[in-house]
Structure 1
């Protein structure tokens, strides 16, 4: 009689959470206000309004538009408002900041929306490697969000994990 192979990972009851699956679906586009500064220092309202009016915002159709200034300049808040007003009919989302900043906020929101009830007393592995670089802050956020609910929390792959947290055993009363 042939011995049956058992996939111990499959029958272990481990839940794998793949943060990469929550990567934004839309492509990113950037709008750097530095390109509209006079001498890379000053934003002139009249010139900026004209530039925004002439800019083809349709190129941001269904994209996440990241609006920021890569120069060390003081940008008035109304400048961001003008860009947002012009881009809103086209962009899927508009964010003031860089891609890294957007991803930190995006993942924080994703993790806050995870229902902890789905993880109560479960052994959970947070998948650690993939094709995209997930912000380190997402791993911090998922740990603090799930730890009060899980039996254990691990990082990596179900077949090779790094233990992060294990719920203490409650001693039986005598």
Structure 2
């Protein structure tokens, strides 16, 4: 708590936990603020490979947000996407 108090006003964000906890806390508000209108009834591929570290929880969060919005959600690359969800007709 003392470190938190010293960093208040200096750091944009302070997170207690692992690197994955930090990454999750950074991705969470971005995913929650996404406008999903462009994905309405569209097939969506969530890219699996990235040069930036993406926590597993971010994949779970985006999948949860797209569920019921997108026509289908797949994971991976276009040539080898794995189906995760498909909206019932």
TM-score normalised by L of structure 2: 0.84
1:140 paired to 2:63: no
1:121-159 deviation digits (Å, cap 9, x = unpaired):
111110001223311111111111111100111111123
CA distance in 1, matches of 2:28, 2:5: 26
After the TM superposition, which residues 75-86 of structure 1 pair with which residues of structure 2 at under 5 Å, given as runs? 80=1, 82-86=2-6
Root-mean-square deviation (CA, aligned residues, Å) is 1.6
User: How many aligned positions are there?
Assistant: 89
CA distance in 1, matches of 2:65, 2:9: 35
Which runs of 5 or more residues in structure 1 are unaligned?
1-79, 170-174
Which runs of 5 or more residues in structure 2 are unaligned?
none
Larger Rg: 1
Q: How much has 1:167 moved relative to structure 2?
A: 1.2
Q: How much has 1:101 moved relative to structure 2?
A: 0.9
SS in 2 for 1:142: helix
- In the other structure, the counterpart of 2:40 is 120
1:100 paired to 2:55: no
Specify which structure has the higher proportion of strand.
1
SS in 2 for 1:111: helix
- In the other structure, the counterpart of 1:109 is 29
1:37-93 deviation digits (Å, cap 9, x = unpaired):
xxxxxxxxxxxxxxxxxxxxxxxxxxxxxxxxxxxxxxxxxxx1x222222343232
